[in-house]
Structure 1
């Protein structure tokens, strides 16, 4: 049975239909990630769940209870914002305990919950400090700790790592994953970063234009995208999309064919199915990305390989593909199974 359910949820801003009849079920203990390009509606949808944006039509059900029009404070949800949203004049301990103090919780229980959350997040040495005395990563952990002490039914994360540098993002991402496993909490996480989506999620919800394009595990989305949008949005570098005329043995309905960079291989000139000229070689240490411009059409593709290439920029090359990993798309951009 679903724990959180969105039923035909709509959101309008005047004449703009921002969220369009979204249906989604989330199970207890799942880590769900909303991902998509800027303006796709992922943060709006999260704020609708939190009660910070009005739901214009449809229903929102949590643990069997209708909460569509409940005030945010009554929904038993806790949100972690991108901007930390800490009280600058309060200590870490005071920030983390604020919601419990407002509710009139007994001081002994407050102390116990704050101490436990601080220990989990490695914040115990910083409880008497104010936010200005903390690093960005420590401030984000305080914001997460403030959510933990409330013991909510669902945690909501709105791009919590976007203000951190790359190294700290990676470290904090691991901490959030470990925290989810320890708490076995139901979590919804919004990000535009597909690495976060692929590494954190039990299931990923891909949004575009206020519509859910596909829901699935990270590898389901990577290996079996429902359409061209998902195919190119999930994966870095993105999937190569070429005219179906380059490929043999495919459906008559196929207009475009997608191939992941790792499913192409460089062979000697004249020995492969596709020919072109090398435009750029990106040597990244653990892998090399080879950019090729195809003869005749000028279409471009990227080949990923894990050994150092012997070719150089402007060399003519041939390319073969793994026929077992082709993704075929019809004229509407939908996958052909």
Structure 2
């Protein structure tokens, strides 16, 4: 056989991940409990970690529910990472849930989905966890994915020096964070509504205002707005067919409890994860640089500015099809740990 052809074929057969950059270090800040896209996004993040494309540094929670911390722990444990740091806001931002009841389900007198964090109130404060991750990190090394209220991000920015770090939060962010990938806002009309108030902003306007006003200009912010997730819906067919490799799957059961079997759920939160870990893979386009402001009613406005550090995702029809397919593949991939 021609040795040049053999060598070429051998190179093509190598795992693509072998050519990847250093794994992205990710903090996932979520309002898990309400919508099920948080569950899908966290599952996808674990798959990307299984593929050595990222390293999950911590998961922080921005809503108040007695079971959302345990839910995160159950998902982490399901995917073979039971000891990931988990922080939960100590504020009062309540949220009902259709699916966190799964942490109470048992089979043969044991938790169906094992976890050892039994109450959200037992978890450390989210800001303390964020400060610790940043204090321990190398400069310009952490990507934060924020897919809920901005309370933890805003509180981090306003946090003072303490026993964790002599730096105030804003300086920790300035020195250690390389990217914030955030799902929030609406920068183009939604179903003809040019003044659409997106939920992650509307549900706690003050924290989103504090975040955009205080975020350091040196650190880029990429927004995935409401319209991106709407155009990349998670297919119900995947829920029906892709998770049968185990009798009980925490993603499938969460989805069915939240959305039922006949709904293709928008993948809002997943898109922020996908961009943070694979920013150069062509899944999305980007707006020009600029700034974002948040009005007192929660309306978000993007203003072009060459010196700005904010951009938002754009997506054409071909990209949307690619996003749907890759998200399905990543969410439904079996955990690397044996089950």
Would the TM-score normalized by the shorter structure come out above 0.5? no
**What's the TM-score, normalizing by structure 2?**
0.26
**What's the TM-score, normalizing by structure 1?**
0.26
Structure with bigger RCO (C-alpha 8 Å, 6+ apart): 2
The structure carrying a bigger strand percent of its residues is 1
The structure carrying a bigger helix percent of its residues is 2
Higher gyration radius (CA): 1
